[in-house]
Structure 1
Amino acid sequence: MKEKHQLHLDGRLIAESDGAVWVPLADPTQYAIALHYEKKVPLLEGDIQSALTFRKHVAHTPQLSGAAFATCLPCIHVTIAGSYIRFSASMLGEELFVHHYTDYLSLAGPGDLQYIRRRVDHISKHFDVVREALQSLRQYYKGVQPRSRDTKDPARLRPNPTLRPTSTRSSHTRLEGLVFEDRMSFGDMQYNPALWRARYRGRPALVKFTERYSVRTHQLLAGCSPPKAPELYFAEKIVGGIWMIVMKRLKETNAENTFLDQALPSSVVNDVKAALDVLHKGGLVFGDLRRSNIMVQLENDVYRAKLIDFDNSGREVASDDPAAAEYEAGGPWYDPFLNPWPGLPQEIQPSKPMRAAHDLAMLELISPSDRLGLNEQGQVFWSK
C-alpha cells in the first residue's frame, strides 16, 4: 500500500492518493493499481476524487502505461467518509466506468451488543470479498505482459462477459464460441454501446446487452417458416443481472431508412401482420413496433420483413392494475415516463399494460406515407 502517493507534472502536484496498492506485471518494472483508496469527510466526495485521481495516475505515470495498453485496468475503489465506507470497482474503456457495489456502510453508531455484532459480521463479509478480489487481481496482473502504444491490444476494450455462478455447463460451452469484433454502428450514426458485432462459431453474429428481453417471443418468431425474426443463437443472463443476446447478424436494413418518406410495401405490412398474428395467438405482444424495428430485404423483387428488438415484448397482461397483475412476473408495461406524442393511439399511456391491439394500431400508424408517424427518436413527423 502506497499511502499519500503524490503525482507531479512539470514540478507541480496534480494528484494525491490517500492510498493505493500497486502490483507488478510479468515485467516487474511495470505496474498496475489494483486498489485505490480515498478518505474524505463529506459523503460522495471520495467517490469523485478516487476516480479522477486514478485516471490522472494512469495518464501521467509511465510505469502504468504497460498495463493500460494491455488491459482494461480493473481496479477496486475504497472510499471512507467519517464512519462510513463504500466499495466500488472501475474499468477503463473509452472512458473510466465505475460501479458501486455497496452504498455507504456504517462502521459505527448506537445500538445494543447484539446489533453491533450483526453489523460487524455484515461489514466483515464485505471485507472478505474485497480481500479475495484483491488477491485475484494480484494474480491476474502478475501474468500480464505489458504492451506499448504500438503493440496495444484492442481486445482489452471489448466485452468480457462473465456468466452467473448458477449458469449451466452448456452455457459456458456456448460462450466459448463467441468472439467480439467491434461496436455496432449504423452508417454515419454514432455507435450503440449495447450492440456489438461478433462471430459465433465462425458465423456473423450480433450481440446485444439489455436489462430486459423476451427470449420466448424471439424464439417463437425465429422458429417460424419462413423466419420472422433473426436466428437466436443463445441468450444468457450474465453477472450484473443483464441479458446477453447472441443472434444472427442480418444483412437487411431497417424499414426506417429503406422507405424514408414512403409507404411500407404491402409485402412488408403483410409479413409484419403475420408475425404479430403468431404472437397474439400465443398470448404475447410485441410492444415496440416502429419502422426501425422492422428489418427488410429484397428477395426476388419483393421486400420481406423480420422483427427485431424484443426488449418490450412479453405476455399480454389482462389487468390494468400492476399490483394485481404481478408487475415483475407479468407482461410488458409502458414506461411511467412515456411521453404520449400527438398521433399516438390514445390507449397507449404511461404505466399501462401493452395490448395486442396496440401492436395493430402502431402498424396502422407507421404503414402509410400520408399520415402522422414517429421517427426513431419518437418525434412526430409528417411523411410526404
Structure 2
Amino acid sequence: FKPFRDVSCCPCLLVAIAGPNIMVGGAVYAEQIIATSFTSYISIAPLDVPGPRPMYDAAIWRAARLMRALKQATVALDEHYAAVTQALNVASARSADRLPTCYVGPHLTHVSANGTAISLDYTGRLCTGEPAKTLYTARARITSDPEQDPRETDVVVKFTKAYSLEGHRLLAVHGLAPKLWFCEWVESVDMYVVVMNHVRDAETADEDVAMSAADAAAVRTAVELLHAEGLVFGDLRGPNVLLRKDGGPLLIDFDWCGPEGTACYPLGVNMHSAIPWHPDVNTGALIKKEHDLHLLKVLTGS
C-alpha cells in the first residue's frame, strides 16, 4: 500500500442513497482523509417542476445527467489508477528506480496578476492539526519580465473566504506584514488565494514570548497605519503577530480586517472567557478601533 500511497492521493467517489435521492461526493488521502460533497441530494423520483415539462421527463433528465457524470468520473478514476499501477510496475521491474514521492497539494498551481505570473510547487501544509486552516508552503517561480529568468522563493499560500488586500498591502509596504505576491478571489477554488513570503525563524507573540519595547512600538505603528486609512484589524492577538529575531514584528491573518463601519466579527467567533476581548465584542458585531486598541494594550502591556 505505501508505494501506491506515496505517488497517489487515492481519489474515490462517494455515493449516498436515501430512498429515491442520490448524493455524490468524493474523497482523497492527503495528510489525512479529505471528503466533500459534489452535489446536494438529487431525486430520481418524479417531482413537480416549474414550466411545461412533464414531471416524468424532468426525472429522466435528472437521472440521465447524474449517471452520465458518474460514468465519466469512473472512467477518469480508472485511467488514473491504471497509469499509477503501470508506473509502479515499471519502477519495480527496474529495481533501482523509484518513483518520486508526490505531495498532495491544491490543484491551483498557477496564478497571475498585473503582468506577474507565479507557478507554485507545494511542499507541505501548515497547521495540520487544524483542518479548517488551509495554509500551504510552496516553492514559487515568479516571472514579471519574460526576458529575465524567473525568481524563486519560498512562500505561504493561504485559501480563505475573506481577506483584506488593502490592509495587508498597506502594512507590507511599511515592512510590518509579509511581502505579498498575490491576493485575489479565484473562481476555480471559490476563495481568496493569498501568496506571501514564508517567514522563517519567527515566533508568535504568545504568552511564552516576551515582546520588546521596540516590537511593541512597531505593532502600535501597524495599528495606527490601519486606523489612519479607516481600517480595523479585529483579531490582534498573539498568534497573529510574528516576532522575528531580526527585522521586527509582522502582522498576519487579515481575514477580519476591513473598513470600520462595515467589517464585522464572524458569527463563529470564539467568545471563550479566556480570550481578552473588548467587552463590546460579540458575534456579528461591528469591529471598532477601540477594540484593536484594547487588544494592543493586552498584547504589549502598554
Matches for 1:224-303 after TM superposition, within 5 Å: 224=174, 227-236=175-184, 237=186, 239-256=188-205, 260=208, 262=210, 264-299=211-246
1:212 aligned partner, one-letter code: A
Q: 1:212 to 1:368 in 2, by over 3 A?
A: same
Deviations 1:247-270 (Å, cap 9, x if unpaired)?
A: 10113423425x7274x3222222
Structure-1-length-normalised TM-score: 0.62
Q: 1:336 to 1:81 in 2, by over 3 A?
A: closer
Partner of 2:126: 184
Does the 8 Å CA contact 2:164/2:256 hold for their aligned counterparts? yes
Partner of 1:79: 16
SS of 2:248's equivalent in the other structure is strand
SS of 1:160's equivalent in the other structure is coil
Deviations 1:281-335 (Å, cap 9, x if unpaired)?
A: 2222111101221112244xxx722111112212222xxxxxxxxxxxx523243
Gaps of 5+ in 1: 1-58, 60-64, 318-329, 370-384
CA RMSD across the alignment: 3.4
Matches for 1:1-384 after TM superposition, within 5 Å: 67-111=4-48, 114-144=54-84, 145-146=87-88, 151=98, 153-155=100-102, 157-162=103-108, 174-175=117-118, 177-184=119-126, 194-201=134-141, 202-224=152-174, 227-236=175-184, 237=186, 239-256=188-205, 260=208, 262=210, 264-299=211-246, 304-317=248-261, 330-336=262-268, 338-339=270-271, 341=273, 343-368=276-301
Q: 1:245 to 1:170 in 2, by over 3 A?
A: closer
Deviations 1:221-267 (Å, cap 9, x if unpaired)?
A: 1123xx1110011134363423332210113423425x7274x3222
By how many angstroms is 1:346 displaced? 0.7
Percent of aligned pairs sharing the same letter: 24
Does the 8 Å CA contact 1:340/1:349 hold for their aligned counterparts? no
Gaps of 5+ in 2: 142-151
Does the 8 Å CA contact 1:238/1:244 hold for their aligned counterparts? no
By how many angstroms is 1:204 displaced? 1.7
2:236 aligned partner, one-letter code: L
Does the 8 Å CA contact 2:112/2:182 hold for their aligned counterparts? no
Does the 8 Å CA contact 1:210/1:311 hold for their aligned counterparts? yes
By how many angstroms is 1:162 displaced? 3.3
1:345 aligned partner, one-letter code: H
Partner of 2:148: none
Q: 1: CA distance between counterparts of 2:269 and 2:167?
A: 25
Runs of 4+ in 1 over 6 A off after TM superposition: none
Does the 8 Å CA contact 1:207/1:246 hold for their aligned counterparts? yes
Deviations 1:334-358 (Å, cap 9, x if unpaired)?
A: 4345315264321112221111221
Q: 1:109 to 1:244 in 2, by over 3 A?
A: same
Q: 2: CA distance between counterparts of 1:335 and 1:151?
A: 49
Q: 2: CA distance between counterparts of 1:340 and 1:109?
A: 49
| Rg comparison, structure with higher value | 1
Does the 8 Å CA contact 2:205/2:243 hold for their aligned counterparts? no
Structure-2-length-normalised TM-score: 0.77
SS of 1:276's equivalent in the other structure is helix
1:348 aligned partner, one-letter code: V
Q: 1: CA distance between counterparts of 2:129 and 2:25?
A: 29
